[in-house]
Chain A
Amino acid sequence: MSYLPGTASLIEEIDKKLLVVLRDGRTLIGFLRSIDQFANLVLHRTIERIHVGKKYGDIPRGIFVVRGENVVLLGEIDLENENTLPLEEVSIDEILEMQREEQLVKQEEEERKKKAMLERGLQPHSELHDDMF
């Protein structure tokens, strides 16, 4: 195998449609136009895809330069199966509303846990941040 330092093996993925998961949990889908050894990325014609349960919504975003440290993974979209997913696309407003509700439910659960721990004399550790690592 030829020696490609760092993330240079991603050169093969250039101009392909990729799914990028970021550290804050966001999912971007776009065409990879450039990379470097840190996995800094340039994404073209990007959309942000929000999933809630079995539903998803796409928000058009344009061009992204992503700093490498925020990249979790890059996935090559399987173009054959792309349109046969067991998921349903909904409008942007709808998915944003669903996302907000989901976050509220999560927040409430966190509060409940925190309260229960305090009642039992335990110091609640805030392990769930938006930015988890």
Chain B
Amino acid sequence: MLFYSFFKSLVGKDVVVELKNDLSICGTLHSVDQFLNIKLTDIQVTDPDTYPHMLSVKNCFIRCSVVRYVQLPADECDTQLLQRCSKKRGSSE
């Protein structure tokens, strides 16, 4: 549940989600669930010429299984905290 909590802490921030079909969508993280399905608001496709489908879409739900990367705002991520959490889990199990 570490990454679920981590993503929950990023709600409201701007992220870029790159999908396995090379579509990348920039938007504000609206919500995330335990499978890491992602809901974005106010989206913008980084390459609208190749993907004109999305021009009329403002908010979208992305199924967890199609996400390749999520680009996060660097200053919002406490990597040291993440590292400590995973160490703690590793030693307790």
Q: Tell me the bound Cα distance from A123 to B38 in angstroms.
A: 37
- In the assembled complex, the CB of A62 is this many whole angstroms from the nearest CB of chain B, namely 20
In the complex, the answer to whether B57 meets A19 with C-beta atoms within 8 Å is yes
Of B19, B33, B59, the residue contacting A75 (CB under 8 A) is B59
The answer to whether the Cβ of B56 comes within 8 Å of any Cβ in the partner chain is yes
In the complex, the answer to whether B21 meets A76 with C-beta atoms within 8 Å is no
Identity of the chain B residue whose Cβ is nearest the Cβ of A86 in the assembled complex: B55
In the complex, the answer to whether A74 meets B60 with C-beta atoms within 8 Å is yes
Q: Mark A37-72, 1 if CB is under 8 A from B, else 0.
A: 001000000000101011010000000000011011
In the complex, the answer to whether A9 meets B39 with C-beta atoms within 8 Å is yes
Identity of the chain B residue whose Cβ is nearest the Cβ of A81 in the assembled complex: B56
Which secondary structure dominates chain A's binding surface?
mixed
Q: Tell me the bound Cα distance from A94 to B52 in angstroms.
A: 18
Of B34, B35, B56, B66, the residue contacting A77 (CB under 8 A) is B56
Q: Tell me the bound Cα distance from A124 to B49 in angstroms.
A: 28
Interface residues of A (CB under 8 A from B): 1, 4-7, 9-10, 13, 19, 21, 23, 25, 27, 39, 49, 51, 53-54, 56, 68-69, 71-78, 81-82, 85-87, 132-133
